[in-house]
Structure 1
Amino acid sequence: MAATIKHITKGAIVVMVLCLCSCTKYNYINGGTANGIHDCTMWEYFHTNSYDWDSTVVMIEHAGLKSLFDGTGEYKQITFFGLTSNSILRYMLENNYERVTDIPVGKCQDIIQKLVAPKRIMLNDVPRGNRIQSGGGIESAFVEYDGLVFDCIRGSLFLWTQRMAYNDIEDTGEIALYIASRNQDGTRNERVASTDIQTTNGVVHSLNYDFRFRNF
């Protein structure tokens, strides 16, 4: 019976990941504000969208970091580069975890704190920039151009924006926000899916559904 339940649980996670991926368009990139301004705390906002944030909420509670998001902690204003439920479920599959609470507390704390800056950062605060590999090989070092470096609660991030093309005309489309970890070498660039989700105690920039823990 225990083995059957285990297989059912893993099967359910697989189905959830597949459903989330199949229901998204362009990996959930819209290049703009998702749902605008919310007259509530970030923690309360997460509960208005269980589709994206239910596993995130569980991870935050499991890590003992709820006060960071409900406005009662040390930092009264934060920016969260939000990893969504789909990224968490993928990580669980890759590591044979059945529940979010099976992920070690230390790992949950580490990834969340690396994605939280203790101040408000809006899209317009981030200048144009780029991060490209200096050589042609996959082991080549990345070079940062312009942009900004922000210290997070743990580690730091390099942030930059680019204006995308529209109808094949350069620099006429939406402004895209990118982040990259400075905590280890060789990590890939991550494009933010939806920016400037404002709450009373901070800003959420929602990461793509294909965000991978190992890049941070």
Structure 2
Amino acid sequence: MDKIVLYLIVGIVLTGCTKENFIDTGLAVGYQDCSMLEYMKNNPGNWDSTVVMIEHAGLEKLFDGKDPDYPKFTFFGPKKLSLLRYLLDNDIERIKDMDPEECREMILEYVCVDLILRKDVPKGTAFLPWPPIPGEGGMDISMLGGNACRLFARTQDYEGLPEAGATYIYLESRRKTTNIATSDLRFTNGIIHALATKHTFGSL
């Protein structure tokens, strides 16, 4: 029964995210006077599954700004659909069916101890799979989970004019590139850059 409900939720969200009513803008949002965890709890439409994963992993203190070792950090946040896709791909009915230590390791792969704002990210290019060409520019970052990633900005062309369009931020790891849907969500304990919903949790 839980599995059927999970499929229905994913189907509804995917259907609703059309070009007309869901746009990954990559725009900055601004400062909010609360912790990351408080914000996510108050926005369940995007973050309720992320909150469940954080709590199941025993990372509430970290995301609530109460961990003395990491009072502030940057979180490249996977949202609800990213986590639901992971559950479906791995035939898992509920987050609470997962091993808490595994959840902890996976969440920490999205946490960078440095505070990084959109304006700090240099321009760069993505890795090309075939023929394999490494990406250039950007900045290398390390996550608490031990994984290394690269951040870079890219400005699109507009009406035939090079780099005259919108600028987007991308997170690249394991030769996969994910765009950041919303950047610079700032809180008392750091910054969230929300990943696009096409990202599958655990693929960093």
Give the TM-score of the pair, scaled to structure 2: 0.90
Deviation at 1:191, TM superposition (A): 0.7
How many residue pairs match? The answer is 200
* 2:199 aligns with one of 186, 211, 214: 211
Alignment of 1:105-116 (within 5 A): 105-116=100-111
* 1:194 aligns with one of 157, 178, 182: 182
Kindly provide the CA deviation profile for residues 32-82 of structure 1, in whole angstroms up to 9, marking residues without a partner as x: 124x32111111110121011000000001111111111101211110000
Q: Does 1:82 align with 2:100?
A: no
Q: Distance in 2 between matches of 1:91 and 1:42?
A: 22
Q: Distance in 2 between matches of 1:95 and 1:189?
A: 21
Asked whether the 8 Å contact 1:32–1:174 carries over to 2, the reply is no
SS in 2 for 1:17: helix
Kindly provide the CA deviation profile for residues 152-186 of structure 1, in whole angstroms up to 9, marking residues without a partner as x: 112221110011233453312222000112xx4xx
Q: Does 1:147 align with 2:135?
A: no
Q: Distance in 2 between matches of 1:40 and 1:214?
A: 27
* 1:13 aligns with one of 1, 6, 14: 6
Give the direction of change, closer, same or farther, for the CA distance of 1:28–1:13 in structure 2 (3 Å limit). farther
Give the direction of change, closer, same or farther, for the CA distance of 1:28–1:75 in structure 2 (3 Å limit). farther
> Which residue does the alignment assign to 2:116?
121
> Which residue does the alignment assign to 2:126?
131
Q: Does 1:157 align with 2:179?
A: no
Q: State the identity as a percent.
A: 31
Unaligned regions of 5+ residues in structure 1, if any? 1-7
SS in 2 for 1:160: strand
Q: Distance in 2 between matches of 1:161 and 1:91?
A: 27
Q: Distance in 1 between matches of 2:65 and 2:202?
A: 29
Amino acid at match of 2:153: T
Unaligned regions of 5+ residues in structure 2, if any? none
Runs of 4+ in 1 over 3 A off after TM superposition: 25-28, 166-169
Q: Distance in 2 between matches of 1:83 and 1:104?
A: 19
Q: Distance in 2 between matches of 1:110 and 1:56?
A: 14
Asked whether the 8 Å contact 2:180–2:193 carries over to 1, the reply is yes
Q: Distance in 2 between matches of 1:160 and 1:90?
A: 25
* 1:104 aligns with one of 99, 106, 120: 99
* 1:70 aligns with one of 54, 61, 64: 64
Asked whether the 8 Å contact 2:82–2:200 carries over to 1, the reply is yes
Asked whether the 8 Å contact 1:119–1:202 carries over to 2, the reply is no
Give the direction of change, closer, same or farther, for the CA distance of 1:144–1:99 in structure 2 (3 Å limit). same
> Which residue does the alignment assign to 1:94?
89
SS in 1 for 2:105: helix
Give the direction of change, closer, same or farther, for the CA distance of 1:169–1:58 in structure 2 (3 Å limit). same
